[in-house]
Chain A
Amino acid sequence: MSAVTKEQVFDWLSEVLDPEIPVLSITDLGIVRDVVIDDRVTVTLTPTYSGCPATEVIEQSVAHALRDHGLDNATIKRTLSPPWTTDWISEEGREKLRQYGIAPPAEPAGKRVLLDSGRSIACPRCESTKTSLVSEFGSTACKASYRCEACLEPFEYFKCI
């Protein structure tokens, strides 16, 4: 056990992908809150949304990844506090989202962002800010649907929440 370090565990977790946005790892997404190593390894995760159907799948994937590295009795805990916001997505994660064709959250999460819209979202393909909102919702609860008026491509936007 003494051979395992926190960094190593984080490294392994950075290979566990979000099942709904499979270019992002769970560390990019910022949902790994803590790794504690004493006589066993405890990983603490936080859900993105209350009803996120991926939560259980992610917990199973984490258990699986740790087992693959010989940790058979890791504990996976869930915490709600502090609540996850899009601010937890790493810089690297934002770049990966852009490359994948999803516009990353445009500004820090907060009450104001949730209550009024009207900001311009840059197209992840051509970077034009001439874009329009098609729908507040997309393929998952965390995304809205946009259209780029410059390159005419539809794209998804990861909402600030």
Chain B
Amino acid sequence: MTGQDALLSYILRLGDNALVIGQRMIERVTGEPELEEELANANFALDYIGQARMFYAYAGELEGKGRGEDDFAYLRDGQEFRNFLMVEQPNGHFGDAIVRQVLFESFYLLQLEKLIDCADTRLAEIAARAVKEIRYHLRHASQWLIRLGDGTDESHERVNTSLGQFWRYAGEFFHGDDVDDLIAQEFDGPDLVSLARSWRASVESVLKQATLSIPDDTFDQTAFSKAGGRAGMHSEYFGFLIAEMQHLQRAFPGANW
């Protein structure tokens, strides 16, 4: 694998994470517990879809086969998507969505902050744009997690259960492969070992304020954790997600506004 191949794969993974978590947020539109959250969630989803478009547009140029944003989003099969399993998990209740957002965005924010200084100019530019949005998202989600964790017995119990459920998908963030290695070596991208340390510190500080504790104290990356997204091996929920997302383009190929 050359550096350029790794770059293309890496950018598609970034686009897939953004698209899939954005799609999960879109599913929650009109289902939020209050109006403020309705606005917040829809705006977050919009940021993610916008970021996915920037990543896909760049991936299409790198690939040079004439594929564009819509081709990557609508015309690839499930196994071709390379998003983390965490972002494709079903939404569950409000607390589940907040826990997922804190765990994923704590990682994504650190990843973007590192990519701002990477050796690929275009990727650095996209990261610099996206990082401002994700900081705002994470602040919002963290405030909610603190409010729920340090809230009533019921809310504490429910987010504590959510944390246990999503925690096992967090290890995958740090299960790097040769793409991650090449991005770190050839493009001065994130080093997953130091990212794991920063991630843990950042998550732990929010959890502490939320009176929650990290489920697995040893945080052994090889311990019970789910992975496969980087290789296109998804959980069963993913097929349903893309079936809905791609339905229009599959039923009416080439449909346009």
Contact = CB atoms under 8 A, between A and B. Distances in A.
Contacts, number: 68
Contacts of A138: 39
B154 interface: no
**Interface residue SS majority, chain B:** helix
Interface stretch (A3-11, A58-66, A76-84, A118-126): A76-84
B250 interface: no
A80 B136 contact: no
Contacts of A50: 47, 50-51, 53-54, 129-130, 133
A141 B36 contact: no
Nearest to B22: A51
B49 interface: yes
B93 interface: no
Given A50-B51, A80-B125, A137-B39, A114 B46 contact: no
B132 A161 contact: yes
B50 A49 contact: yes
B139 interface: yes
Nearest to A139: B39
Contact of B128 (A47, A82, A115): A82
**Interface residue SS majority, chain A:** loop
B126 A51 contact: no
Nearest to B47: A51
B40 interface: yes
A111 B53 CA distance: 25
Contact of A114 (B50, B54, B136): B136
A31 to B, nearest CB: 13
A80 B128 contact: yes
A11 B136 CA distance: 34
Contact of B132 (A52, A53, A83, A140): A83
A40 B130 CA distance: 32
B147 interface: no
